[in-house]
Amino acid sequence: MMLTGKTQLLGVIGNPVTHSLSPVMHNAALAELGADYVYVAFPVAAPELEIAIPGLLVLGIQGFNITIPHKQAILPLLADISPAAQAIGAVNTVWRTEQGWAGTNTDVAGFIAPLKSLRDWSGATALVLGNGGAARAVVAGCGQLGFAQIQVVGRNAQKLAEFQASWLASSLHLPLVSLGWDALLTLLPTADLIVNTTPLGMHPTVDRSPLTAAHLALAPAEAVVYDLIYTPRPTQLLAQAAQRGLATLDGLEMLVQQGAAALEIWLHQAAPVATMRQALVDWLAR
Ligand code: NAP
């Protein structure tokens, strides 16, 4: 694609942002669609966020993703925020409106996309490991899928209490309990879906897993184990789960689908999901 004076800009802001896989995935999609757009990474330091956001509007940027550390800090700088992003407390996708920037969180759509085709989850029980930023999208996603119970385990009692309180105050009214890590032994035998939202198993802890083989032995034979980590493939957790005969999902599809959902918001057309997935697989296999 030739870049001309008419080429439109999309991008991602974060700090650091040079490692982001979004430019790889989105530029492959834009080329496939023949769209006259380019997607670039903008490093923005936290103190500069307030000037960067109106600056991007003035420069005519069509939309952008937000990654660490700005996913929460951007909220007061937006003209409109979707109810899901408000409940999660984080925005990862922004687009232009006449009033200014509008934002939502496509991590929820990304998380639920590979689950939707597996079974009907209404009435099921989800067990979520960790209570950080990604866990918030996971909890909202489990709510959308109709889980009857969403059980979150974490290691820090104070953060866990704040996590629970934030959902009680939200408009989503989810069937959520937040418990200490030692509750795992009681919760695993009834878990239909087990989601790892901790970074355990990702570089530099690729040889670690949030669950032991003994933990996994407690899970029902039909349980699905979902690790949000997308590299390495498989993680230690998913290798152990597969060995135990459990169904597994890794984080690559969530990454692809949150990107596809963002692209559809920006371009108002279906995203070439297979091209986006292949671009990431090729890039990660380099
Ligand atoms: P985060 O906000 O830092 O949250 C991490 C959570 O894991 C926190 O609750 C943290 O507990 C907990 N944790 C960390 N180390 C632990 C350990 N050794 N034992 C038990 N708990 C531990 O990070 P995040 O943004 O949620 O990201 C989490 C993971 O999800 C990362 O691996 C990220 O790559 C992945 N992710 C994937 C996608 C995707 O599209 N596939 C999207 C988002 C995130 P403390 O608060 O006590 O430290």
Q: Which positions of the chain have pLDDT values less than 50?
A: none
DSSP secondary structure string, 180-212? EGGGHHHHGGG-SEEEE-S-BTBTT-TT--SS-
Q: Is 92 in the pocket of ligand 1 (CB under 6 A)?
A: no
- Percent of the chain past pLDDT 90, that is, above it, reads 95
Rounded to a whole number of angstroms, the CA Rg of the chain reads: 19
Do 246 and 140 share a domain, yes or no? yes
- Backbone dihedral region for residue 166 (phi beyond 0: left; psi -120 to 50: alpha; all else: beta): alpha
Instruction: Specify the amino acid at residue 138.
Output: V
Residues β-bridged to residue 128? 152, 195
Q: What is the pLDDT of residue 172?
A: 84
Do 168 and 180 share a domain, yes or no? yes
Is 2 a member of any domain? no
Do 40 and 169 share a domain, yes or no? no
> CATH number of the domain that 276 lies in?
3.40.50.10860
Do 136 and 238 share a domain, yes or no? yes
Give distance in angstroms: CA of 5 to centre of ligand 1: 41
How many independent structural domains does the chain possess? Answer: 2
Q: What is the pLDDT of residue 1?
A: 73
Contacts of residue 285, Cβ cutoff 8 Å, sequence gap at least 6:
none
Which long-range contacts does 175-178 make (Cβ < 8 Å, 24+ apart)?
175/147, 175/148, 175/149, 175/150, 176/139, 176/150, 176/151, 176/152, 177/149, 177/150, 177/151, 177/152, 178/131, 178/152, 178/153, 178/154
Residue 50 domain boundaries: 8-105+257-284
Q: Is 96 in the pocket of ligand 1 (CB under 6 A)?
A: no
Do 77 and 31 share a domain, yes or no? yes
Do 24 and 87 share a domain, yes or no? yes
- Measure the CA–CA gap between 282 and 286, rounded to whole angstroms: 6
Do 278 and 213 share a domain, yes or no? no
Tell the residue nearest (CA) to atom 41 of ligand 1: 251
Give distance in angstroms: CA of 248 to centre of ligand 1: 19
Q: What is the pLDDT of residue 170?
A: 85
> CATH number of the domain that 202 lies in?
3.40.50.720
Give distance in angstroms: CA of 97 to centre of ligand 1: 32
**Average of per-residue pLDDT values in the chain:** 96
